[in-house]
Every structure is written in C-alpha cells, then in structure tokens.
Structure 1
Amino acid sequence: MPPKKVIIDTDPGVDDMLALLLALSASSEELEVLLVSLCFGNVDVESCLRNVVSLFHVLDLERHWRITNNLAPGFSMLEAKRPIVAVGATNPLEGASLEYDYFHGTDGLQGVHHAAPHFTPTEMWKHLFTPEGTPEVSPMARLPPNFKPSAVPSHKEILRVLRENEPDTVTIVAVGPLSNLALAAAEDPETFLRAHEVVVMGGALEQEGNVTPVAEFNHYACAVSAARIYALTSPSPKSTMPACKELPPYPEVLSKRLKLTAFPLDITNYHLMSAEIFDKVTAQAKARGSPLAEWVRTFVSATFSHMESLYSEQDRKPKHVNISLHDPLCIWYVLTRDGEGWEVTEDVDVRIETEGQWTRGMSIIDKRRKIMEEDLAKPVKRHDRGVWLHKGHGNRVRIARDSQYKDTFGEDMLKRIFSV
C-alpha cells in the first residue's frame, strides 16, 4: 500500500508543533507530507514561519546526532522527499484578528527562541518565501537541507498539489484557522474537491468553547472561512454559505460533496499528555544529548508550568496537569483511520456562526428533540417553515466522537517522535 499523502495546514503553536513532529516521524511507507501550509492563528505568520524553519533545523541536527551515536536516524520521510513550506493568510477574511499567544507565548512556542537560541537558525531563508526575493538568489546560495521554501502563497500551493496528484489521494489536515483552505476553494472549487478528505481540528459541540463560552479558537479566528469550507459538505452549499465580500459564491452545481471529518473539543479535550509521561519518555534522550529532546522539552515544559500558573490563579490545584493533544490527534487519525479505533458519526448538520455579536465561530447543531413514532400514535414530521429544516439543505459533516487511543495516545505519540 502506498504512503498516505497529506497537506498540513497549520499555525504552529505548541500542539501544532507536536502534530508536525508526529507526522514527520512517520515512516516513508506510512505518510508523505507534501506541503506544510502556514496560516495566521496562534501567532502571526512570520512567527509561524520561524517556528517551522526552526523545526526543520532541529530535525537536521537530531538526525546527525543519532547517526553519530549509532542510532537509527528516524524521520525517513525527509530522506524520501523534502516537504514544501509555503506562507499563507495573514488575517481572517472578515472580522478582527485574534491570536492565541496568551497561551502559546508571543512566539507561539513559549519563548523557545530566547530560552534556547542555539536551536533557532541564523538563516531563516525568508527571501525564498517572497516572489520579489526569489530571482535574486544565487545558485551557490545555501538552501534548506530538508524542506523546500515556496514563494507561492499557501492556497495556490494547495491547489497545485491537488492538481498534480490523482483525485482522491491527498488528505488535507487543517489544524489552524481555515483561511488558506477557503481561499483555495474559492479560487478553484473543483480542484479543491479532488482532496480525499479534509480533517479539521475545530469547533465545540457539547463542550464549552476555549476562546468564548461557545467557540473554539480555530473557528473563531476565521469564522467565515470555516463556514465556507463546511458548506462544501452540503448538497446545496448556498444553503449554509455565509455572505463574504472578499470571496465569490461557489457555482450552483459542483461535481461532489467534500468529505470533511471534524475533531471538535468534544474529543480532543480528552486525548491528553501528562507531565509525568512527557518526562519519562524524553528525559533519557535529553540526558544523552538529543537536540530534539532538549528543544521540545524547552517549550513543552514551559507549557506545563504556564498551565499550572493558570490553575493557581483560579484557585484550582489539580493533582495532574495535562496538555490536550488537539492537533496531533488529527495526524493520528490519518495514520490509523483504516483500523477500528475510531467512533465517527456521519452526516451531522454542523453550521458555523459568522455574524452573531457573541456567537462568532460557534458550531451549531439542531438539538431540538426529535418526535419519534413511539411518542405519538401517529408519526409527525417536524417542520420549521424551512428556516433550518429543508430537504437537500444543511451540511453533512463527519464528527469524530471518541477513540480507543484515549489512555495511550500521549505516550505512543512521544515514543514515535523520539524513537523510544
């Protein structure tokens, strides 16, 4: 079986970085990361770029360290084919921009570039990510060893990758705001629909939100983009698509519906990594001199400390502080989706609120009680004059509800990353 081809669209904060590490630690037979597409979100795009370039720099150091110490180098995917890195949306399509730096730190990684500056490369290759800078690059200029910078915007790279691969072979894993995806789908919806599946970390259905009482951050950050992507799952996209002055409507007729699998907080909040497990798996590697272990421990340990401080401010003192593995869980799903370990509900009509003063980014589902045949002597079909219920209208989203990996995922992820 050929490796699964993926595009990862991300706004690299702490859990995004763990998701990228999990993906890149997969074997070249399991996964092929074709593109890392960057979007504003947890922090600004320039900080996202610095974090990703630093990641690839540390992985280069790690592989050399492992080879020197007679260890399997790991990250074989980077030997088979260098992923492309592209920079995308800098702001939401509509509405004010909000960053999540109060949790992830102003650089997205809890100040790792100041705490461990020796892991931040002096050459960021920023000139290679702009059309103006590309022609000036000398043929002898030093290039990144394990990724390819692109001067083309992320949404155009997404479309190029989808065009150059067979239909239904590339999965898009979106773990940040959906702005790049919305731009790609607006420019060429039929090419966008060549994707095998779009896996989205976002939303909150029965859980409270993490940025407002009702909204999860990624969908809040660019609610219009989320609503437009979800609308592609509908038999009639115009029935749920918001007005947007920045982008045109989709065509009346499309060749297929988008297969979208959402990972809301309802499932990601319960796939955890404890400080004890993190320390157990990474301490020995750090003691032996692993650059990757030292770098990751710098920002993950700071995250645990930050969470403890938040709890103490609220006079809450839990026995154990855990990090929810929101974004890595989406990568794990792609790696394991062919097995029996996932509980997924098909065709859920989830709609994203874009205009509410207090409900921006809210994931709305119909919670009204269904009138069943046993409730009445005669079955009654509920109606609401077409405001919500209407044949052929509404979205058809797959919702990840639960998995068999809840108790083991954190440790399994770390063992993969650190080759333990």
Structure 2
Amino acid sequence: MGKKIIIDTDPGIDDILALLLALSASPEEVEVLLISLTFGNIEVKNCLRNAVSMFHIIEREMQWRRENGRPEGFGALRAHRPILAVGAEDPLEDQKLLADYFHGTDGLGGIHESHPHLTATKAWDHLFTPTADSEGIEPVADCTSLDDHEFIPSKLPAYQEILRALRDNEPDSVTLVAVGPLTNLALAAAEDPETFLRVKEVVVMGGAINTPGNVTPMGEFNAYADAVAAARVFALTSPNPHTTVPPTKGDRLPPYPKNLSRQLTLRLFPLDITLRHNISRGQFRKAITPLLEGGSPLAEWVDAFMGHTFRTLERLHPGHVGDDAELSLHDPVCVWYAITSDDPKWVYSAKSPEDIRIDTLGQWTRGMCVVDRRNRHRIEGDDESASDHGLWLSGRAGNRIWRMDGSPAEETFGAVIIDRLFK
C-alpha cells in the first residue's frame, strides 16, 4: 500500500506539475486521499477550474494511451479517486496577494481562452457549492455527471475535509503536502488541534532562509500571502506554541490549548532548496515534441501553459532566454519528497530542527523567515528575561522546524518530472 497523502494547493503552473507527479505515481508508492484548494497564485475559483480541467485532460490522455498501445500510467489515480475540496478564498488577516502576474489570471497562462478544447466543459461547479445541510455529509461520490471522472467532489470546506481525512485514518499515517498559503491548515488546526496533530508530517513549500525572497527582499510568496497562517502552523512544532504564535487583530481564530498531546513534525522546503530543482525550456521542448506530434492531450495541455511560463521567465529574468530559460520546480519537489521520503539522500540542514519563525507585523518583512544568528548561551526556563526578548534562547520555547537542504535528484529533477508524467 502506498503512502497516504493530502495535497493542499493553489494550482498554478508548478502546482499542476506537482499534482500530476503525485497522480502518475504507482499505487504502491502513494495514495492521494484529498486535494484541498486554497487561494494563492490565483483566486480559488480559478484553482478549481484548473484542477477539474487537469482531471479532464488525464482522462483523455489515458484514453489516447490505450488507443495507441501505450501503458495508461496514473496508477495512483486509477487505484484511488481523491476527494477534491474548495477552501480558503482569503488570508486570515492580511491583504490578499495573488501571483497572476506570473501564472496568468486563470493560473495557467490564459489556457482556457487559448485552448478551450482542453478545458472541462461539463457543469461541475454546483457539485462544490455548500448547502444548508452540508455539515457532516459525505462527499458527492455518485453524481451522474461524474460517472467517468477521476475525482470525488466535496461540498465541505477544505479544512473540514482535512480533519475528516485525519480522523478516518490511523495517527501518523497521513502526510500533508502544503504547496500554497497555509490558510486551510491554520483553519483546520484552530478547529481541532488534536485531530490536526494526528498527521504524520506536514511538508511545506515556503519561506526563504539564506536566499532572497521572491515577492519582497525577505518574503517568499506562500509565507507572505498568509503570514499569520504560516506562523500559526509553525507554532505547533513548539513544545509551547504560545511562545511563537502571532498576535492577531481579531478573534477569528482562538489560541491553542496549553497542553497539547504532541508537537507537529514540519518539513520545510524553502527557496534555498527548491531553486536548485529546475527544468529548462530546451529539456522540456526535446521531450515534448514527439508527444505533440503523436497527439498526446496531456502534452498539448502542458506545452500550452509551459510556453507561457518560459516567455514570462524571459521577461522577468533578462539573460535567461531561449532553451536556457529555466523554471524552478518548487511544488513538485515537495511531492517528490512525499513519494520518496525513505531515500537516505534527502538531507536536512545541519541545524535542524531549527527555531524558524514567520514575521507577521513588519512593514518590510512580512512573511520573512526569522532565525537567530547570534552566538548566545541557552537560558533555562521559559520566562522571558531582559537578555532573551522573544524567548529565543529558552530550551522550552521556540519552533522546531526540519529544514530540507538536499535531495536525491537536484541535478536531474527535470528529467524525473518528464519521465514520470509522459513515459
């Protein structure tokens, strides 16, 4: 039986590649229980259209492969249909930031207008609309319009589906891969922290430690987009979450109970590692051309939004032109970890677990990953002192984050993506 995972995502170009990587795995490698959607790269309603369109394309691709004598692939998907749930539309407190300047207003470079024949056309949106009696209902599994589809729509908010999946499975059996803003996770943890802590580990794409941010000099997009949510999730790694949980502007989310049964295990994939996992336009073009000539629906779909991506990269990063333009595969790296976490070539930073905190209040530093670079002696106790403002030196305070710093496929990850998705 494969590893059970939940993917919380805001698809998004590299998010779609991450989802395809998970669904194309073998059932012995992974079982995708739930895909929960959040705002982030784009509005959540566009994330839903992209996710449904992805399943539409996968169905067409598997049919094309059968008709051409090729292996169907997507074993994990064929073995287990994941629930698809719609989540947070806005951050907990901050002004909303989207990344449509990079991904396009629809999240996939305008593909729904440029390639309408590749967009799902069935009436599916009402299947996700909450009703007055949605609380506690089962996901819609047997709707006539979805007889041939590969997902199960849910009318419940995504954070409630996350909690349901964790209740329905044994403790420490589900990995939650979060590759967007952490709003859904923060809502789930606030609703029922003990159930949330049944998770085996949370794998987070976010933050920047020793490299610049990508939306501000200090801020990486996911951490910046909902800094309060990120800080609250990070706080659950602490022996005493109250020492790092951020102050809030209102009463939307309650404080955590003082005596939680356990600490959260959080694997952080900041820009420091994800920027080392890339695919070049030349590498992609060489692999995709024969598949386009053969009529692969998946190749046509991915080529359409990747073409937009490489053109955007050329505009944003002068000097990276033509076949040398490279896309960093931020989100797929996290899914790859979830699939291959037993590989001893995954490497943590030498200081792990580290006390990494998310700044939520700074004018210029919102979303910044703050670490203590001072060479100071530890202080016993958990009471704040004049020499330890913020409890950075107390052994019973602060977060405990496992920061990833090396992988089995840094130099070859582009080839891994191509091989997994198309061969």
- Relative to structure 1, is the Cα distance of residues 361 and 252 closer, same or farther in structure 2, using a 3 angstrom cutoff? same
Change (3 A) 1:256 1:104: same
TM-score, length-normalised on structure 2? 0.92
Instruction: Report SS of the residue matched to 1:9.
Output: strand
Farther-moved stretch of structure 1 (331-340 vs 56-65): 331-340
Matched, 1:81 2:84: no
- Measured in 1, the distance between the counterparts of 2:133 and 2:123 equals 14
SS of equivalent residue, structure 1 residue 323: strand
Q: Which amino acid aligns with 1:303?
A: T
Specify the alignment match of 1:398 in structure 2: 402
d(CA) in 1 for partners of 2:169, 2:141? 31
TM-score (norm 1): 0.93
SS at match of 2:145: coil
Q: Percent identity?
A: 54
Give the 3-state SS of the residue equivalent to 1:29 in structure 2.
Answer: coil
- The answer (yes or no) to whether the contact 2:128–2:154 under 8 Å persists in 1 is yes
Per-residue deviation, residues 45-85 of structure 1 (Å, max 9, x unmatched): 00000000000000000000100111111112222111100
Per-residue deviation, 1:389 = 1.8
Deviation at 1:371, TM superposition (A): 7.0
Q: Distance in 2 between matches of 1:253 and 1:191?
A: 14
CA contact (8 A) 1:268 1:329 kept: yes
1:91 matched to 2:97? The reply is no
Aligned to 2:128: 129
Q: What is the identity, as a one-letter code, of the residue corresponding to 1:232? A: L
Structure 1 gap segments, 5+ residues each:
373-381
Q: Distance in 2 between matches of 1:317 and 1:23?
A: 30
Residue 149, structure 1, aligned to residue 148, structure 2: no
Secondary structure of 1:283's aligned partner? helix
Contact residue 6 and residue 174 of structure 2 kept, 8 A: yes
Aligned to 2:418: 414
Between 387-396 and 265-274, the greater mean CA deviation after superposition: 387-396
Give the partner amino acid of 1:301: G
Per the alignment, residue 258 of structure 1 pairs with 264
CA distance in 2, matches of 1:125, 1:283: 32
Residue 235 in 1 paired to residue 254 in 2? no
User: By how many angstroms is 1:132 displaced?
Assistant: 2.8
Instruction: Say if 2:360 is the partner of 1:354.
Output: yes
CA contact (8 A) 1:127 1:133 kept: no
Match of 2:253 in 1: 247
Shift of 1:138: 13
> Per the alignment, in what secondary structure is the counterpart of residue 348 of structure 1?
coil
Query: Cα deviation per residue 1:346-404 (whole Å; 9 max; x = unaligned)?
Result: 210000000111111100001123579xxxxxxxxx99334322230000000001223
1:201 to 175, 182, 205: 205
Residue 114 (structure 1) shift:
1.2
Return the match for 2:334 from 330, 335, 346.
Answer: 330
* Structure 1 counterpart of 2:193, from 189, 206, 209: 189
Does the C-alpha gap of structure 1 residues 332 and 407 become closer, same or farther in structure 2, counting only changes over 3 Å? same
1:385 and 1:32 map into 2 onto residues whose CA distance is 45
Report whether the alignment pairs 1:109 with 2:108.
yes
Instruction: State the AA in 2 paired with 1:117.
Output: P
CA contact under 8 A between 1:383 and 1:389: conserved in structure 2?
Answer: no
Letter in 2 for 1:192: F
RMSD: 2.0
8 Å Cα contact 2:343-2:408 kept in structure 1: no
Ranges in structure 2 where 5+ consecutive residues have no aligned partner = 135-139, 379-384
Bigger CA drift: 172-181 or 327-336?
327-336
Q: State the secondary structure of the residue aligned to 2:327.
A: strand
Count of equivalent residues = 406
SS of equivalent residue, structure 1 residue 238: helix
